[in-house]
């Protein structure tokens, strides 16, 4: 059964948006500084729902959807609405902390990190004129997109309906102008996606010819059919799989609106 | 016939670049380059004659797609064009239908064994959607069954597209696997008393999939269930109509629907569709509003009368079957010569070729790309069509090109598009 909009958005915040922190600390020196020396697991958990944990890794942070290790400070959200409003920086009851409460004083770093993530995912038009800001923005958007696909396949009714009639297979995406690669595997019931090269020969390859095309696609500003006809996007192989995946990708915008 | 080493599509691309500024997608729908071989095949056509057409760059092709079906006699058949022109000289779109509408309805009712009446539209979608409404009006029920993956048009209840749809568009549309009579009957049982109609194609011809002929007893089994349960059986003969049997493809496969929808080949390329039905459904049909600004336009109806006459006079269906059989034998032989295992599916007049070693169409795309380069338009994802104009010369030339295209596959590494 499809989840409600709020439930799906909560899943997206935890499984797609939060993991983008990993890329943020890699791309942004101030963010890297905030993450340096992170020394405890911080779990965000929706009651009866999904969870995600920021864990220390290699002197920085990583985000995992696996159960947290011992010693985690958990921020408990009672409802998807509360979680979403928190992520959207709208007025909301603060989450109830449990677990390693002695780490509470470190939450300031988390707050600042997420503020930086917000700014990088939703920069102003003026900020986007800086090529470095634009490039970081696109890299993060791509990471969010890859993380969002499995969530949407599982919870979004439109994506679910479309994928139900999408043939199974492995899809590979390349945005060479931005140095981005990702893959997804649809087996008829479950969609898995990750950055990097596909683990097996893809059944469909989707390639973006250049950075402006990739940028327009990631920001939801592209007429994809026109772009294919113009050769700005190349699709080889199992076109119906690309079609189904693109519907799921398009659905991200319904939940996580890009900056305007 | 030119045999260039490479083909230029510069004018097609230039036109497309203009198009994207003023047309969403540039070219939308089934003609979109995104659905075929973008950059490696023409985007715009300029003229056609018989079994051939020319794109805007002057490249010539043997046409194995026939406009996706409408061209059944060959492009620009002189008798059909004269009939349409004669009517056009008298008038095109009036405030009223022309007498040719009555003549055509009478002709079709005589042709189709179970039919007592006919209506007309412009596209297949017009008729398939209207037929669903007639089924609902007749039965007072809501649900429609269709086979999974079947194409019945572009309206919301059946579109293969995704944009602009809401759950309510397909809430009462349920699918069963083609050739699975047990699954069909289970679905009927699950929704017993709620099903208005079942819509089926004569044979299964999904895009991006092998064609499948009906298994013995499949259509008869559906018919039996429909009769027992008071469900209206609709044959969507839009794609296969007038290529298998002049009186409807149900005659070819041995069953009898309650409604039948035609389009594509009915008027050799002139825009027209038709639905015919049993006498018992005429009253319900009369209560379902049916109209369109151009639906009673007379020239396509005149073209249809001429087309139907020629199909019968020249034994066009038998001709296409014979040409199709030669094409099939030649394709299979060529594939074997080059060590390729192919699946050649569907009726001989509407074949589809895929490669047995793949499910992702890489080889199909490479094969068809090469065929286009050498002057035969083949589609990698959609069934092909023959016409009466595909005679020995065209079949032989197609097979020569296919042989070269199979040979070229040796240079295509698995899993890439060369």
pLDDT of B127: 98
Kind of pairing, strands A233-237 and B45-49? unpaired
User: What is the nearest CA distance from A77 to chain B, expressed in angstroms?
Assistant: 31
Residues of B in contact with A234 (CB under 8 A): 38, 417
Distance of alpha carbon B221 from alpha carbon A56, whole angstroms? 64
Whether B344 has its CB under 8 Å from any CB of chain A: the answer is no
- Arithmetic mean of pLDDT over chain B: 96
Residues of A in contact with B363 (CB under 8 A): none
User: What is the nearest CA distance from A95 to chain B, expressed in angstroms?
Assistant: 35
Whether B44 has its CB under 8 Å from any CB of chain A: the answer is no
Determine the residue among B43, B152, B162 to mutate to test chain A binding: the one whose Cβ has the most chain A Cβ atoms within 10 Å: B162
Whether A127 has its CB under 8 Å from any CB of chain B: the answer is no
Whether A220 has its CB under 8 Å from any CB of chain B: the answer is no
Give the tens place of pLDDT for each residue, B126-185: 999 999 999 999 999 999 999 999 999 999 999 998 889 988 999 999 999 999 999 999
pLDDT of B411: 84
* Mean pLDDT value across residues B24-53: 95
- pLDDT of residue B22 exceeding 70, the answer is yes
Residues with Cβ within 8 Å of residue A60, at least 6 apart in sequence? A25, A32, A35, A36, A38
The nearest alpha carbon in chain B to A247 belongs to B162
CA separation, residue B304 to residues A103, A215, B63, B263, B291 (Å):
81, 50, 21, 10, 19
Contact check, Cβ <8 Å, B34/A201: no
Give the tens place of pLDDT for each residue, A181-196: 999 999 999 999 999 9
| Whole-complex ipTM | 0.91
Contact check, Cβ <8 Å, B359/A203: yes
Whether A201 has its CB under 8 Å from any CB of chain B: the answer is yes
Of the candidates A161, A229, A240, the beta carbon closest to that of B26 is on A229
* Mean pLDDT value across residues A113-128: 91
pLDDT of B414: 61
pLDDT of A177: 86
User: What is the nearest CA distance from A235 to chain B, expressed in angstroms?
Assistant: 8
Distance of alpha carbon B235 from alpha carbon B265, whole angstroms? 16
User: What is the nearest CA distance from A173 to chain B, expressed in angstroms?
Assistant: 14
What residue spans of B192-315 are helical by DSSP H? 218-229, 249-253, 282-287, 298-313
The nearest alpha carbon in chain A to B159 belongs to A162
CB-facing half-sphere around the CA of B120: CA atoms within 13 A = 28
Tokens 């059989």 belong to residue: B325
Return phi, psi of residue B392, to 5°: -55, -45
- pLDDT of residue B1 exceeding 50, the answer is no
Distance of alpha carbon A175 from alpha carbon B408, whole angstroms? 29
* Mean pLDDT value across residues A226-232: 97
Q: How many residues does chain B have?
A: 418
Distance of alpha carbon A223 from alpha carbon B24, whole angstroms? 7
Contact check, Cβ <8 Å, B25/A157: no
Of the candidates A203, A225, A238, the beta carbon closest to that of B28 is on A225
pLDDT of A59: 86
Contact check, Cβ <8 Å, A229/B381: no
Asked if residues B130 and B292 have their Cβ atoms less than 8 Å apart, the reply is: no
Residues with Cβ within 8 Å of residue A256, at least 6 apart in sequence? A9, A12, A16, A17, A144, A148
pLDDT > 90: what percent of chain B?
A: 94
Of the candidates B28, B35, B360, the beta carbon closest to that of A237 is on B360
Asked if residues A119 and A223 have their Cβ atoms less than 8 Å apart, the reply is: no
* Mean pLDDT value across residues B106-110: 98
Contact check, Cβ <8 Å, B167/A247: no
pLDDT of A258: 59
Identify the three-state secondary structure at position A42: strand
The nearest alpha carbon in chain A to B38 belongs to A229
Whether A132 has its CB under 8 Å from any CB of chain B: the answer is no
Token duo for residue A209: 């010819």
Distance of alpha carbon B298 from alpha carbon B285, whole angstroms? 22
User: What is the nearest CA distance from A131 to chain B, expressed in angstroms?
Assistant: 27
Alpha-carbon Rg for chain A, nearest whole angstrom, is: 18
Q: With helix as H, strand as E and coil as C, how does A91-135 read?
A: CCCCCEEEECHHHHHHHHHHHHHHHHHHHHHCCCHHHHCCHHHHH
Q: Please, what's the b/e burial string for B380-391 (b: 16 or more CB within 10 A of its CB; e: otherwise)?
A: bbbbbbbbbbbb
Backbone dihedral region for residue A231 (phi beyond 0: left; psi -120 to 50: alpha; all else: beta) = left
* Mean pLDDT value across residues A189-206: 96
- Using pLDDT thresholds of 50, 70 and 90, give the confidence band for residue B343: very high
Give the tens place of pLDDT for each residue, A2-29: 569 999 999 999 999 999 999 999 999 9
| pTM, 2 dp | 0.93
Asked if residues A174 and A205 have their Cβ atoms less than 8 Å apart, the reply is: yes
Least confident of A69-78, B43-52, B267-276: A69-78
- Of chain A, the end-to-end C-alpha distance in Å amounts to 33
Return phi, psi of residue B213, to 5°: -75, 155
Asked if residues B262 and B130 have their Cβ atoms less than 8 Å apart, the reply is: no
Whether B35 has its CB under 8 Å from any CB of chain A: the answer is yes
| DSSP code per residue over A181-233 | EEEEEE-SS-EEEEESS-SS--SEEEEE-SHHHHHHHHTT---HHHHHHHTSE
* Mean pLDDT value across residues B256-278: 98
Distance of alpha carbon A27 from alpha carbon A132, whole angstroms? 10
Give the tens place of pLDDT for each residue, A28-41: 999 999 999 888 99
Contact check, Cβ <8 Å, B362/A234: no
Whether A199 has its CB under 8 Å from any CB of chain B: the answer is no
Q: How many residues does chain A have?
A: 260
User: What is the nearest CA distance from B126 to chain A, expressed in angstroms?
Assistant: 24
pLDDT of B418: 38
Token duo for residue A224: 């994809």
- Of chain B, the end-to-end C-alpha distance in Å amounts to 26
pLDDT of A260: 47
pLDDT of A259: 52
Which of B 5-24 lie inside 8 A of A, CB atoms? 13, 16-17, 20, 24
- pLDDT of residue A1 exceeding 70, the answer is no
Which residue, A106, A92, A8, is CA-closest to A54?
A: A106
The nearest alpha carbon in chain B to A244 belongs to B162
- pLDDT of residue B4 exceeding 80, the answer is no
Give, for B321, the enclosing helix (H) or strand (E). Answer: helix B316-337
pLDDT of A257: 76
- pLDDT of residue B390 exceeding 70, the answer is yes
pLDDT of A62: 94
pLDDT of A2: 52
Contact check, Cβ <8 Å, A229/B25: yes
- Arithmetic mean of pLDDT over chain A: 92
Kindly report the number of other CB atoms within 10 A of residue B123's CB atom. 19
Residues of B in contact with A235 (CB under 8 A): 34, 38
pLDDT of B417: 45
Give the tens place of pLDDT for each residue, B61-91: 999 999 999 999 999 999 999 999 999 999 9
* Mean pLDDT value across residues A197-213: 94
Contact check, Cβ <8 Å, B362/A236: yes
- pLDDT of residue B232 exceeding 90, the answer is yes
């Amino acid at each position: 059964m499809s989840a409600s909009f709020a439930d799906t958005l909560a899943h997206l915040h935890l499984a797609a948006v939060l993991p983008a922190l990993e890329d943020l600390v890699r791309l942004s020196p101030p963010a890297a500084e905030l993450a340096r020396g992170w020394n405890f697991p911080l779990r965000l958990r929706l009651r009866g729902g999904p969870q995600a944990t920021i864990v220390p890794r290699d002197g920085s942070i990583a985000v995992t959807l696996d159960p947290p290790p011992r010693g985690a400070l958990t921020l408990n959200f009672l409802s998807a609405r509360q979680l979403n409003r928190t992520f959207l920086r709208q007025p909301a009851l603060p989450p109830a902390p449990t677990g390693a409460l002695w780490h509470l004083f470190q939450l300031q770093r988390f707050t600042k990190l997420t503020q930086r993530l917000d700014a990088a995912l939703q920069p102003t038009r003026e900020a986007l004129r800086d090529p470095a800001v634009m490039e970081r923005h696109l890299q993060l958007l791509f990471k969010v997109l890859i993380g969002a696909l499995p969530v949407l396949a599982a919870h979004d009714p439109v994506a679910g309906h479309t994928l139900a009639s999408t043939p199974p297979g492995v899809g590979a995406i390349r945005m060479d102008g931005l140095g981005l690669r990702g893959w997804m595997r649809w087996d008829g019931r479950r969609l898995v996606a990750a950055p990097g090269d596909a683990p097996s020969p893809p059944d469909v390859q989707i390639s973006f010819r250049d950075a402006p095309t990739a940028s327009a696609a990631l920001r939801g500003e592209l007429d994809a059919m026109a772009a294919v006809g113009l050769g700005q996007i190349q699709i080889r192989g199992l076109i119906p799989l690309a079609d189904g995946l693109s519907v799921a990708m398009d659905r991200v915008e319904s939940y996580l609106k890009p900056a305007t | 016939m030119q045999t260039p080493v490479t083909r230029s599509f510069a004018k097609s691309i230039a036109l497309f670049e203009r198009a994207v500024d003023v047309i969403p997608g540039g070219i939308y729908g089934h003609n979109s380059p995104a659905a075929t071989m973008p950059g490696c095949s023409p985007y715009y056509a300029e003229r056609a004659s018989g079994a051939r057409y020319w794109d805007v760059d002057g490249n010539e092709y043997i046409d194995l797609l026939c406009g996706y079906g409408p061209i059944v006699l060959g492009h620009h058949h002189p008798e059909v064009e004269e009939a349409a022109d004669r009517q056009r000289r008298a008038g095109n779109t009036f405030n009223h239908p022309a007498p040719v509408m009555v003549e055509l309805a009478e002709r079709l009712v005589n042709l189709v064994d179970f039919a007592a009446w006919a209506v007309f539209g412009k596209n297949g979608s017009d008729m398939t959607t209207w037929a669903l409404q007639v089924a609902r009006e007749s039965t007072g029920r809501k649900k429609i069954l269709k086979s999974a993956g079947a194409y019945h048009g572009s309206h919301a209840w059946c579109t293969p597209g995704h944009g602009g749809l809401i759950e309510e568009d397909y809430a009462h549309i349920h699918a069963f696997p083609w050739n699975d009579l047990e699954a069909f009957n289970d679905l009927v049982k699950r929704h017993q008393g709620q099903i208005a109609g079942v819509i089926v194609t004569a044979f299964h011809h999904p895009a991006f999939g092998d064609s499948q002929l009906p298994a013995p007893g499949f259509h008869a089994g559906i018919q039996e269930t429909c009769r027992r349960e008071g469900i209206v059986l609709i044959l969507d003969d839009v794609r296969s109509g007038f290529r298998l049997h002049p009186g409807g493809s149900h005659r070819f496969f041995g069953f009898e629907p309650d409604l039948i929808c035609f389009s594509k080949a009915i008027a050799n390329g002139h825009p027209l569709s038709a639905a015919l039905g049993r006498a018992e459904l005429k009253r319900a049909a009369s209560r379902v509003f049916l109209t369109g600004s151009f639906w009673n336009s007379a020239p396509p109806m005149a073209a249809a009368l001429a087309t139907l006459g020629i199909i019968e006079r020249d034994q066009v269906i038998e001709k296409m079957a014979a040409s199709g059989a030669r094409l099939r034998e030649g394709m299979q032989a060529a594939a074997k010569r080059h060590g390729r295992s192919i699946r050649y599916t569907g009726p001989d007049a509407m074949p589809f070729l895929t490669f047995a070693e793949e499910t992702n169409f890489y080889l199909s795309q490479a094969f068809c790309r090469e065929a286009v380069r050498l002057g035969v338009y083949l589609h990698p994802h959609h069934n092909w069509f023959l016409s009466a104009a595909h005679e020995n010369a065209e079949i032989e030339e197609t097979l020569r090109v296919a042989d070269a295209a199979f040979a070229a596959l040796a240079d295509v590494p698995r899993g890439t598009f060369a």
